[in-house]
Amino acid sequence: MKEFRTGQGYDVHRIESGLPMWLCGIKIESGCGFVAHSDGDVAIHALCDALLGAAALGDIGRHFPDNSDEYLGIDSKILLARVVKMLEAEGYAIGNVDVTIALQAPKIAPYIQQMRECLATVMGVSADRVSVKATTTERLGFVGHGEGCECWAIASIVK
């Protein structure tokens, strides 16, 4: 009998000018980026938490503490690859993932396909199992005021 599980993840990072902006492993053309201990890829962080949550393996902060020099400026794709390895060690395979990015600017639509392919490659699944969606918040709240980026992710896993 197969065991199907789902998990959800959520993350927020503050936006400041002059920093690189990474989302779903892709560098976004922008004059500003995310304040973080790692590369600030808020979408990958939400995805890692969704995958870890599905397997009840805790959260990204527990596995990759943000006070550790090991993770200073780290490429979040490395963290995602490690999370996938943890799931594989528990016997899980990824069913599908779905990521939603809330960001006022710049527009993410031109990057969506690249993002899906990047995440799929890192996770070792086909891109048809990876959904990435983006929205603004109609200039409302901290996202709408350009102060931060908010991401949600859902993942299904099976063993």
Of residues 9 and 116, the one with the C-beta less far from Mg ion: 9
Tell me the closest approach of the beta carbon of residue 151 to Mg ion, in angstroms: 9
Site residues (CB under 5 A) for Mg ion, limited to 48-77: none
Tell me the closest approach of the beta carbon of residue 35 to Mg ion, in angstroms: 10
Tell me the closest approach of the beta carbon of residue 2 to Mg ion, in angstroms: 32
Tell me the closest approach of the beta carbon of residue 158 to Mg ion, in angstroms: 26
11 binds Mg ion (CB under 5 A): yes
**Distance from the Cα of residue 116 to its chain's centroid:** 11
Of residues 61 and 110, the one with the C-beta less far from Mg ion: 61
116 binds Mg ion (CB under 5 A): no
Query: Which of 24, 25, 43, 45 contacts Mg ion by CB under 5 A?
Result: 45
Binding site for Mg ion (CB under 5 A): 11, 45
